[in-house]
């Protein structure tokens, strides 16, 4: 089987002509470019304890990426504990029964690991590192020890120190960051109070300060169980030997109770345009337009990716050309589909030049959206956006770390890690006419959130509502339903004979 490489990702040109441009043809019909990728070599199986394992073999470099997704994110947090999934991610790096405090990173550094990190999103929490293939055992031992024995190490001191780290991150990236309050207001405005995406993963200081050590134990026993995790090992592996090591390190960890899941909420729709006016001590005005849109990989999701590229990717994109180059009323533009498991948001953001009014920015942006609502883009413009989007995806997974994460992403959202070819196929199947139809259907002008940020001296730099003093603070309204409590017994020992050399 061919290895996935730049050579095999070369574009193949279809002989068929593209759809003709609507209206009078300004240029001859362009050749349609069909992008393909070879299938990935994947093995998939499940341990007796429920841990799902995905192996991807690629021997081009003597490295292996270890990428594990726990299928829990901010949407799964209980009421009054917004930000807890992210706080828990920090705790996972502090040590476990056989890994002393603050030595997780040190053990990986000693074996030459790179890209060691973890992230928390609305739908999942992931942990990853890339190690020399000869030292895979060390990484597996470290990951299995914190899956099986985190609670043997976490204490009040660890919780308090990591809570302080997260609160500092909140202050730096939200409370004291220019426009930092925007994302909280956008989520609150697009998603109703009872929706899991009404809040954002960073949480609030109030909820983070309420977290207790018992909350940590409960969260771990419910969500950090083998039957709620998927382990991807991608790179220079011997499948048979890798299977043996996975069984050795993860097999003894017992299955948890059935993982609780809420019923998916109904798709979000807006009945009218919602206006949210903020003021912030910033230099430049900014607008955000946001719509609730289809979930990851649902019909319309891929077309909205193309719409975002058409609007804001590069100097020839619609919004950049009109607002930045021609009218010179904006300094920066962006448009993208923020895809998630239960529903998504399409967001357009425009940062104005000094002295520009937010109304002028909205009018100019709407003019470009209206143009795409009524007339499809030319074949040339459409192909440029579609091909750029797809090649970016293909070349991003030249990185083994990105590729491993993509396999886990596919498994989470469509249930099939070997989804790359079908992912690309949805972009290949799109047409210019689909863009007009998608914008008309999913980005209506009269059913959206319009959030504006007006420069105001003396206001918080992060932003606040332009209202009475009692309303001028950012708040998060919590999802009310508590998750089902669970308890998972843990093995009492992790035999020293399982610890590979080099981990201390």
Reference 317, options 363, 359, 365, 282; nearest CA is 365
Asked whether residue 142 falls in the same domain as residue 272, the answer is no
Give the strands of the sheet with 114-120, arranged side by side: 42-46, 52-57, 229-235, 63-70, 125-132, 114-120
pLDDT at 32: 74
Q: Residues 198, 275: one domain?
A: no
What is the maximum span of the chain, computed from C-alpha positions, in angstroms?
Answer: 75
DSSP string computed for 118-145: EEE-SS-EEEEEEEEGGGHHHHHHHHHH
User: Is 47 domain-assigned?
Assistant: yes
Does 391 map to a domain?
Answer: yes
Give whole-number Cα distances, 323 to 180, 334, 352, 473, in Å: 24, 11, 9, 32
355 and 285 belong to one structural domain: yes
194 and 112, same domain (yes or no): yes
Among 222, 244, 262, residue at a domain's last position: 262
CA dist., res. 368 & res. 442, Å (int): 16
In a domain, 121, yes or no: yes
Write down the pLDDT at residue 39: 80
| Per-residue 3-state assignment (H helix, E strand, C coil) for 190-217 | HCCCCCHHHCCCCCCHHHHHHCCHHHHH
CATH number at residue 65: 3.30.830.10
On whether residue 50 sits in a domain, the answer given is yes
Same domain? 242 vs 383: no
Distances, alpha carbon 389 to alpha carbons 117, 308, 340, 376, 489, in Å: 26, 10, 18, 18, 46
Phi, psi (rounded to 5 degrees) for 466: -85, 85
Asked whether residue 140 falls in the same domain as residue 283, the answer is no
Residue written as token pair 């590979």: 500
Claim to verify: residue 117 and residue 244 sit in the same structural domain: yes
Report the pLDDT value the prediction gives residue 232, as an integer from 0 to 100: 98
Choose the final residue of a domain: 202, 227, 262: 262
Q: Are strands 286-293 and 344-352 parallel, antiparallel or unpaired?
A: antiparallel
Q: Count other Cβ atoms within 10 Å, centred on residue 14.
A: 13
Q: In sequence order, what are the residues at sequence separation of 6 or more whose Cβ sits closer than 8 angstroms to the Cβ of residue 176?
A: 461, 462
Q: Contact at 8 Å (CB) between 106 and 95? A: no
Q: What angle do CA 223, 229, 235 make, to 5 degrees?
A: 150
Nearest to 113 by CA among 94, 135, 87: 135
Q: Mention every residue, 6+ apart, whose C-beta is less than 8 A from residue 46.
A: 52, 53
Return the SS3 of 417: coil
Q: Is 448 within a domain?
A: yes
| Apex 414 CA angle, 408 and 419, nearest 5 | 70
Both 154 and 228 in one domain: the answer is yes
Cβ(504)–Cβ(107) below 8 Å? yes
Residues 301 and 193 in one domain: no
Cα three-residue angle 338-341-343, rounded to 5 degrees: 60
Among 242, 262, 282, where does a domain finish? 262
**272 and 258 share one domain:** no
pLDDT of residue 31: 63
SS3 297: coil
How many Å from the N-terminal Cα to the C-terminal Cα in the chain? 39
Nearest-angstrom CA–CA distance, 388 and 385:
5
Count of the separate structural domains present in the chain: 2
Residues 256 and 332 in one domain: no
What is the extent of the structural domain holding 164? 42-262
* pLDDT by residue, tens only, the chain of 504 residues: 333 343 333 333 333 333 333 333 333 445 677 878 778 889 999 999 999 999 999 999 999 999 999 999 999 998 889 999 999 999 999 999 999 999 999 999 999 999 999 999 999 999 999 999 999 999 999 999 999 999 999 999 999 999 999 999 999 999 999 999 999 999 999 999 999 999 999 999 999 999 999 999 999 999 999 999 999 999 999 999 999 999 999 999 999 999 999 899 999 999 999 999 999 999 999 999 999 999 999 999 999 999 999 999 999 999 999 999 999 999 999 999 999 999 999 999 999 999 999 999 999 999 999 999 999 999 999 999 999 999 999 999 999 999 999 999 999 999 999 999 999 999 999 999 999 999 999 999 999 999 999 999 999 999 999 974 334 333 333 322 222 223 333 333 343 334 444 433
Do 351 and 286 form a contact (C-beta atoms < 8 A)?
A: yes
Please indicate, yes or no, if residue 339 is contained in any of the structural domains: yes
Q: What is the pLDDT of residue 30?
A: 52
Rounded Cα gap, residues 93 and 101, in angstroms: 9
- Examine the domain organization and report whether 315 and 203 are in the same domain: no
Q: Kindly state whether residue 148 falls inside one of the protein's structural domains.
A: yes
Residue 155 contacts residue 213 (beta carbons within 8 Å): yes
Q: What angle do CA 111, 117, 120 make, to 5 degrees?
A: 155
Q: Is 320 among the domain residues?
A: yes
Is residue 51 a contact partner of residue 144, using CB atoms and an 8 Å limit? no
């Amino acid at each position: 089987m061919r290895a996935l490489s730049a050579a095999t990702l070369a574009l193949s040109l279809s002989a068929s002509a593209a759809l003709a441009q609507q209206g009078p043809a300004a240029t001859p019909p362009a050749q349609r470019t069909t992008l393909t990728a070879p299938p990935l070599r994947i093995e998939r199986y499940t341990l007796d304890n429920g841990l799902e394992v995905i192996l991807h073999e690629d021997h081009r470099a003597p490295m292996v990426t270890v990428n594990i997704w726990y299928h829990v994110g901010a949407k799964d947090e209980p009421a009054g504990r917004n930000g807890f999934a992210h706080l828990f991610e920090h705790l996972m790096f502090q040590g476990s029964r056989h890994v002393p405090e603050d030595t997780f990173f040190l053990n990986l550094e000693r074996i030459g690991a790179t890209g060691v990190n973890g992230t928390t999103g609305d739908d999942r929490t992931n942990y990853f590192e890339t190690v020399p293939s000869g030292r895979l055992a060390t990484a597996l031992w470290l990951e299995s020890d914190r899956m099986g024995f985190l609670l043997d190490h976490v204490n009040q001191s660890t919780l308090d120190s990591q809570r302080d780290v997260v609160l500092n991150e909140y202050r730096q990236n939200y409370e004291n960051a220019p426009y930092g309050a925007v994302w909280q207001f956008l989520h609150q405005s697009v998603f109703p109070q009872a929706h899991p995406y009404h809040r954002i993963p960073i949480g609030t200081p109030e909820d983070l300060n309420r977290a207790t050590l018992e909350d940590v134990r409960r969260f771990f026993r419910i969500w950090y169980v083998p039957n709620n995790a998927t382990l991807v090992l991608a790179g220079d592996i011997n499948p048979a030997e890798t299977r043996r090591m996975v069984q050795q390190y993860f097999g003894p960890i017992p299955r948890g109770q059935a993982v609780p899941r809420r019923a998916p909420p109904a798709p979000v729709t807006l009945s009218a345009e919602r206006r949210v006016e903020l003021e912030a001590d910033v230099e430049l005005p900014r607008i955000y337009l946001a719509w609730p849109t289809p979930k990851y990989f649902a019909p319309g999701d891929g077309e909205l990716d193309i719409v975002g590229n058409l609007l804001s990717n590069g100097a020839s994109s619609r919004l950049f050309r009109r607002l930045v180059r021609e009218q010179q009323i904006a300094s920066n533009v962006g448009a993208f589909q923020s895809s998630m498991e239960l529903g998504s948001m399409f967001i357009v953001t425009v940062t104005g030049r000094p002295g520009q009014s937010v109304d002028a920015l909205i009018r100019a942006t709407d003019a470009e959206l209206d143009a795409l609502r009524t007339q499809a883009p030319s074949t040339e413009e459409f192909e440029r956006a579609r091909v750029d989007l797809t090649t970016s995806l293909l070349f991003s997974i030249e990185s083994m770390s990105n590729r491993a994460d993509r396999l886990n992403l596919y498994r989470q959202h469509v249930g099939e890690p070997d989804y790359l070819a079908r992912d690309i196929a949805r972009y290949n199947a799109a047409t210019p006419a689909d863009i007009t139809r998608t914008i008309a259907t999913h980005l209506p002008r009269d059913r959206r959130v319009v959030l504006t940020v007006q420069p105001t001296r003396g206001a918080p730099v992060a932003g606040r509502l332009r209202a009475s003093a009692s309303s001028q603070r950012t708040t998060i309204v919590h999802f009310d339903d508590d998750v089902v409590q669970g308890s998972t017994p843990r093995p009492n020992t992790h035999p020293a004979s399982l610890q590979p050399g080099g981990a201390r």
